Amino acid sequence: MPYRCRECGYRSPKWLGRCPVCQSWESFEEVAEDKAGETAGQTWVGERPRSLADIPRIPEERLSTGMGEVDRVLGGGLIPGVVVLFGGEPGVGKSTLLLQLAAQVAARYGKVLYVSGEEATAQVKLRAERLGVAEPTLYLLSEQHLLRIVEAVQDVGPTALVVDSLQTVLARPDGGEIGGLLQVREAAAHFARLAKGLGMATVLVSHITKEGGFAGPKTVEHLVDVAVYLEGVREGDLRLLRCVKNRYGSTAEVAVLQMGASGLVEVANPSLFFVPQDRTPRPGSAIVPVLEGSRTLLMEIQALVTPSGGYGPPQRRTAGLDFNRALVLLAVIEKHLGVHTRAMDVYLAVAGGLEVREPAVDLAVCAAVLGSVRNRVIPADTVILGEVGLAGDVRPVRRGPERLREVAKLGFRRAVVPKAPLPKRVSLEAIQVQTLKEAAEVLGLT
């Protein structure tokens, strides 16, 4: 009787205390002799070491998902055999987007199998109709049993497979509750081997769940080639598709999508999306170029500083900005500019509902606060960029020149920036400052 690692499926003729492949301890269990024709991927396909020179290259061809922005996040599209983990909170739009992408891939490259463990095929069909999807090469299956999904794959022979979701796959009868760690890991590992064996691009959906007991996407990230997350923003219908792991490309890429009546559509030029073009500048508003992956997005920081009621401590609220960072910046403003907000309520927000975590927004946050305190406006054609140190110094930010080039392209004429190299041949007046005080003077906010 052979033995098999419960974690990764590695087989060994004798019992081992530790798996040589996945390093799990005590994971070997006795299994029945392999039956001929047992599902592909279930048996460990041993490879022999080969010279680097003899190993074939991964083909350059990539399957386009039909959405340029999504392709960019995936590192140029789907490589045959790639395993993509697709995470997100329930209701964010995973099934919607994947049905759209599955149809696009089916239209271009042949059969795609979309397996839903949560919805009946009739329900999926209803959604497909709403999305205007009618590809005959798109196959639907409502199934939870891993082995039956594998059978369906062998039956259909698809170019790409979508499993919606990992948490509904019953991978092992003895693996405990569906959605539990063992089931989810086993399913992910199995689909990964299947994908590699067949050269079939595979997308594994995984819900982010807040309550314990279920295995979320983080528990299988190490098993996949690419991990992306679909995120909602605080308010409205915008979605960000963010790549956090990519064995074949850059991990920092982000796509901006918008949920509409017929599914998700890409926001092709999101740079100015969060700053309305007909914006009238108001006191307490400052524009900053924020980096999201290789994209520069302009964000509006808004501050409202008002005398507090005098009962209890003054209010401090932030939306989309780091709360503790905001408190530090208020202290720096007080110390280095002598502007006291101790008896004031301070509200700070990023307009449009995005989360911004970069220190590069510090100077814009300070400018917005000062603008509100002084009741002065920062001109509409001016952006503000820089990290603010505890000593009241303004520090360079990463990829500053790139951001300024984009800002100039979008029609802004002035930028208050740290002392650092500037982009060449750019029609933008860059005012370099070394301290917060200088920045306040330049902007007329002292």
Which residue ranges make up the site for ligand TYD (CB under 6 A)? Answer: 88, 90-96, 127, 130-131, 259, 261-263
Those residues whose C-beta lies under 8 Å from the C-beta of residue 150, and which sit 6 or more positions away, are: 39, 40, 41, 42, 190, 194
90 binds, among ligand TYD, Mg ion, none (CB under 5 to 8 A by kind): ligand TYD
β-sheet with 414-418: strand ranges across: 316-319, 344-350, 295-307, 285-292, 382-384, 414-418, 429-433
Q: Which stretch binds Mg ion (CB under 5 A): 92-100, 216-224, 265-273, 307-315?
A: 92-100
Q: Minimal distance in Å, beta carbon 84 to ligand TYD?
A: 15
Judge contact between 105 and 159, C-beta under 8 A. yes
Q: Minimal distance in Å, beta carbon 302 to ligand TYD?
A: 27
SS3 call for 403: helix
59 binds, among Mg ion, ligand TYD, none (CB under 5 to 8 A by kind): none
Residue number, 167 or 372, with CB nearest to Mg ion: 167
Those residues whose C-beta lies under 8 Å from the C-beta of residue 281, and which sit 6 or more positions away, are: 377, 378, 379, 380
88 binds, among ligand TYD, Mg ion, none (CB under 5 to 8 A by kind): ligand TYD
Residue number, 130 or 234, with CB nearest to ligand TYD: 130
9 binds, among Mg ion, ligand TYD, none (CB under 5 to 8 A by kind): none
414 binds, among ligand TYD, Mg ion, none (CB under 5 to 8 A by kind): none
Q: Is 37 exposed, middle or buried (0-12, 13-18, 19+ CB in 10 A)?
A: exposed
CA dihedral 306, 300, 400, 427 (to 10 degrees): -110
Q: Minimal distance in Å, beta carbon 267 to ligand TYD?
A: 15
Q: What does each C-alpha distance from 57 to 52, 188, 192, 201 come to in angstroms?
A: 10, 25, 19, 17
**Assigned token pair, 300:** 């509006």
Q: Minimal distance in Å, beta carbon 92 to Mg ion?
A: 9
Q: Which of 65, 95, 167, 382 binds Mg ion (CB under 5 A)?
A: 95
Distance CA(324)–CA(313), nearest Å, equals: 16
Q: Minimal distance in Å, beta carbon 209 to ligand TYD?
A: 11
Query: Hey, which residues does 294 pair with through a beta bridge?
Result: none
346-405 positions binding Mg ion, by CB under 5 A: none
**Assigned token pair, 391:** 């000593």
Q: Minimal distance in Å, beta carbon 95 to Mg ion?
A: 3
269 binds, among Mg ion, ligand TYD, none (CB under 5 to 8 A by kind): none
Binding site for Mg ion (CB under 5 A): 95
